[in-house]
Amino acid sequence: MFKEIDFEKATYQDIQINSNEPMKPLRCFAGAWYHKVVTSRKLWLGIETVITLPEFIPDESRKEETVLSGEKIMRFLDTPSVYLGSSSDYENDIGFGFFHGKVNGVLTKEKITFRPFWRNIYLENGKEVNVYKGSNIDDSEYYFFPGDKVKVSLLCLKEEHLTLKISLLEETNIEPFRSIRKELNPPKEFCVENIIAPGNGIRDTEYKIVNAIDQYHNEGRPTQMTKAKAINCIFHNVDLFIEHENKFVKVPFFKQEKQVLLCPAENGFVIEEHNEEKKVSIIPEKSDK
């Protein structure tokens, strides 16, 4: 039976919690360049991390014409994302996508900001529902930028539901984002509750961290080579929550049983690891040399 837990009172333990069964090997999913770390399935109850959001350098040759608010614009076919997720009965992706914004009430023609999103799947009246939602473009207090250092918590506070919390710890020094923020509403903590996540909290669940260069019109298709880069995404520390030996504990994510995917080619990534910190740069062009 699920019981409410005070996550603030979790005791940190620098341990690995073993699984009863070996992890099934995971395969790369086509259509994006991504770094993904996935835990084994246990009764995990949440994940918490501090992330420095990556800087994105687009491929100027990969563009398409699209319509934004009735106006034709050119957009890049590559776009970065950084997110967490869980999977018990269904997969959930919850974190940041790179979007357009509004500055002084004017919609930007270029993408400028990482904004929170959540994609969850569940059954409703016997039918599978796949929902994608995000923060409102008018709520600039929830704009996050490349170089921002943020704390992200994804917690099972309620049976089969997740709560997402994001707070800004350190503001970016990267221009033009530092100057853009001065024109926006002051930053606030972002929170969305009751994200439906079937099985979470009552059945074994895997948790993950991902940073990616996604590609428009390409999901499930062969990943395209690109000169785009998403550099210096830093997971400063990542922790998981679980009940262990009759105590509610927080344990280091990277010390648990896990699988790491670097897709579609390992040499398209630069990875630096130091203690509980992991710095990831996605540089697809490296893999072509």
CATH code for the domain of 146: 2.60.120.1270
Residue 2 belongs to some domain of the structure: no
Given a contact cutoff of 8 angstroms between Cβ atoms, the answer to whether 235 and 272 are in contact is no
Residue 210 belongs to some domain of the structure: yes
> How high is the pLDDT of residue 165?
98
171: tokens are: 């503001």
Residue 253 belongs to some domain of the structure: yes
Residue 229 belongs to some domain of the structure: yes
Residue 198 belongs to some domain of the structure: yes
* Euclidean distance between CA atoms 86 and 100, whole angstroms: 27
Residues whose CB falls within 8 Å of the CB of residue 70, separated by 6 or more in sequence, listed in order: none
Question: Which amino acid, 216?
Answer: Y
288: tokens are: 């072509």
Total domains, the chain: 1
| DSSP secondary structure string for all residues of 129-186 | EEEEEE--TT-GGG-B-TT-EEEEEEEEEETTEEEEEEEEEE----TTHHHHHTTSPP
Instruction: Using alpha carbons only, give the angle 71, 33, 22 rounded to the nearest 5 degrees.
Output: 135
Residue 168 belongs to some domain of the structure: yes
Sign of CA dihedral 159, 97, 42, 277: negative
- Residue range of the domain that includes 128: 9-18+28-288
Total Cβ atoms within 10 A of residue 201: 23
Upper half-sphere CA count for residue 58 (Cβ side, 13 Å)? 16
Q: What is the pLDDT along the chain (289 residues), one digit of tens a residue?
A: 567 788 988 999 999 998 777 888 999 999 999 999 999 999 999 999 999 999 999 999 999 999 887 888 889 999 999 999 999 999 999 999 999 999 999 999 899 999 999 999 999 999 999 999 999 999 999 999 999 999 999 999 999 999 999 999 999 999 999 999 999 999 999 999 999 999 999 999 999 999 999 999 998 999 999 999 999 999 999 999 999 998 999 999 999 999 999 999 999 999 999 888 999 999 999 887 6
> How high is the pLDDT of residue 158?
94
Residue 4 belongs to some domain of the structure: no
Residue 105 belongs to some domain of the structure: yes
Residues whose CB falls within 8 Å of the CB of residue 24, separated by 6 or more in sequence, listed in order: none
> How high is the pLDDT of residue 2?
66
36: tokens are: 């993904």
* Euclidean distance between CA atoms 283 and 94, whole angstroms: 23
Upper half-sphere CA count for residue 23 (Cβ side, 13 Å)? 18
* Euclidean distance between CA atoms 151 and 7, whole angstroms: 15
For residue 207, which of 49, 53, 81 has the smallest C-alpha distance? 49
